[in-house]
Amino acid sequence: MTETILYNTKTFCPRCTILERKGLLLRDAVVVSRDDKVYLKTLCDQHTDNRTNETLYCSSLSFFQRMMNFDGTYMKTLKDIEDLTTNIPTKPTPSNFTIELNIHLPNSTFLSDQEIKDNLLQFQSYYPKNKKFVLKVSAKGSNDIETINEKAKMISNQLKGYPILLEVTVERLNEIAKLNDSAFLMGKIYPALKYYLKRGDEELFIKDIQRLLTLLRQFSDIQSAVTIVVERKFANLSSILSLLRQNNDVIRFIILSIERPPKELVSSLQAKYNNNTVDQQQGNNNDNEDDDKIINFSDPYELIQEIQVATEGQIKDEDFYPLSTASVLEPMFNLMGYGLYNIRPSPYCAFATCLLNTESLKSVPINRLFNITKLYKELLPILPSIEEKIGFFNGLKIKSILKNCNIPGVTIPNIFDYLTDKSKSHITKRVIDQTQILIIHNNMDIAALDLKRRCHCSVETKHRDGFVSSCTNCI
């Protein structure tokens, strides 16, 4: 079988790190293509059976290449792969779209108001004065609804002009929504649900969402985000996605996130290595069994295929693009008065599609109307010159680009006119308020670290006596 190296990187050897507990030691690694699939292969000098040191990175080579082609650097071979470790920033950069603040400590106490204010000032210092971010407030492990509500309101008063997501469990969201002085009455605090969905819990999820929607509709113009954390084998997403898409007036963001439970990952690794040891002892060398020896799966394309089946082809793999392509829309958001944000995660960290809803369109992916690849490539060069102000000549250029990126045979008005003409602002706002963003968050866990990709989006933050590298919450 022909194998092609796509690029060099570094990773943790799963056997050294997880099973043998030798610590977080970076090993040489390569991302390779084979049989139209993509694998992350650890080149560990202590474990030479490389086939058992592989992670299925993507089950579609064409999808992987389409996503990564939006980043012109990933295929380039670095002269010294060790230089990657120096690229990780030591403090958050202004590329973060979202910053998370957990207001509840492990010792069952809340951050004081002053501690919260200090954190907010620190967050703001990471950004130029003209840039904004979304603050995600969580209270992990707390059932104190009253305090959570009061802290959220205090944060909103301190952080004026910034959107705030309050992410708690569905039960706590329900209780907060019932309060007479609910934080959701303030207008800039939005409910954010994170739901761990297992196969068999589909009906419970639907009941929980319907109950929550009934409460949220009591608030004027409220919008929310729903993050569904799934694991293999996936739950049946048909009725779930149908419900979420039908309620696009309240649910603005649908985020599907794949996570591998640690216990399941460890047991899977142990089983694979044990099977491989038995095969070696018995002298078995059956190529048909090779796929079973790939120790784990970190494959977002599998979830995208599930979505295609669940929506009966209404949403397909070609409808998804790297979330980072939204960077070309940053000036548009600013033009409409939403503020200037950075939306620039690594191309393989998140894939998204906009679902448009109008009088004639019902949850239709935006790329059915626009050539997104062409739009991105033509708008990207002029981004630096339109960050603060678009101007007359750039306005004409953008108008022409938008018109030329229409899909042939699809008749739609020029979007730029609706973005710039104040007399049409109510129409623009109505369309935007009905638009949903469907995102696949492709998590990178300890058994699938790709340092080259990680350097796009990781940050070292102070933790006890040292620093820890973590996701920048760019999604």
Tens-digit pLDDT profile for residues 274-318:
765 555 555 555 444 444 444 457 789 999 999 999 999 999 999
Residue 437: helix, strand or coil by DSSP?
Answer: strand
Residue 418: pLDDT band (50, 70, 90) is low
Give 130-157 as a DSSP string: TB--EEEEE-TT---HHHHHHHHHHHHH
Peptide bond into 233 cis (omega under 30): yes
Residue 110: pLDDT band (50, 70, 90) is very high
Under DSSP, the state recorded for 288 is G
Residue 211: helix, strand or coil by DSSP?
Answer: helix
> In this structure, are residues 436 and 245 in contact, taking their beta carbons and an 8 Å threshold?
yes
- The helix (H) or strand (E) run that includes residue 83 is none
The CB density around residue 27, as the number of other CB atoms within 10 Å, is 19
**pLDDT exceeds 60 at position 393:** yes
> In this structure, are residues 78 and 8 in contact, taking their beta carbons and an 8 Å threshold?
yes
The CB density around residue 385, as the number of other CB atoms within 10 Å, is 14
Amino acid of residue 141: G
pLDDT of amino acid 292: 45
**Cα separation of 51 and 470, whole Å?**
28
Look at the block and give the residue holding tokens 């680009």.
401
Across 346-367, b (16+ Cβ under 10 Å) vs e yields: bbbbbbbbbbbbeeebebbbbb
pLDDT tens digits for range 35-52: 999 999 989 888 776 566
Residue 413: helix, strand or coil by DSSP?
Answer: coil
Mean pLDDT across 121-141: 87
Amino acid of residue 278: V
The CB density around residue 201, as the number of other CB atoms within 10 Å, is 14
The CB density around residue 253, as the number of other CB atoms within 10 Å, is 19
Highest mean pLDDT (candidates 21-25, 350-354, 451-455): 350-354
Q: What residue ranges in 152-261 does DSSP mark as E strands?
A: 164-168, 189-197, 224-230, 251-258
Residue 274: helix, strand or coil by DSSP?
Answer: helix
**Cα separation of 471 and 463, whole Å?**
14
Closest CA to 185 of 214, 215, 140: 215
**Cα separation of 322 and 287, whole Å?**
34
> In this structure, are residues 57 and 281 in contact, taking their beta carbons and an 8 Å threshold?
no
Residues shown for the chain = 475
**Cα separation of 21 and 254, whole Å?**
37
- State the pTM of this model: 0.86
Look at the block and give the residue holding tokens 């980043």.
71
pLDDT of amino acid 222: 92
CA 207 to chain centre: 25
Percent share of the chain, pLDDT over 70: 78
**Cα separation of 460 and 90, whole Å?**
5
Residue 81: pLDDT band (50, 70, 90) is very low
> In this structure, are residues 27 and 12 in contact, taking their beta carbons and an 8 Å threshold?
yes
Under DSSP, the state recorded for 293 is G
> Higher confidence at residue 258 or residue 428?
258
The pair of three-digit structure tokens given for residue 73, joined into one six-digit string? 């650097």
The pair of three-digit structure tokens given for residue 83, joined into one six-digit string? 């230089």
**pLDDT exceeds 90 at position 208:** yes
Look at the block and give the residue holding tokens 């509840």.
104
Under DSSP, the state recorded for 370 is B
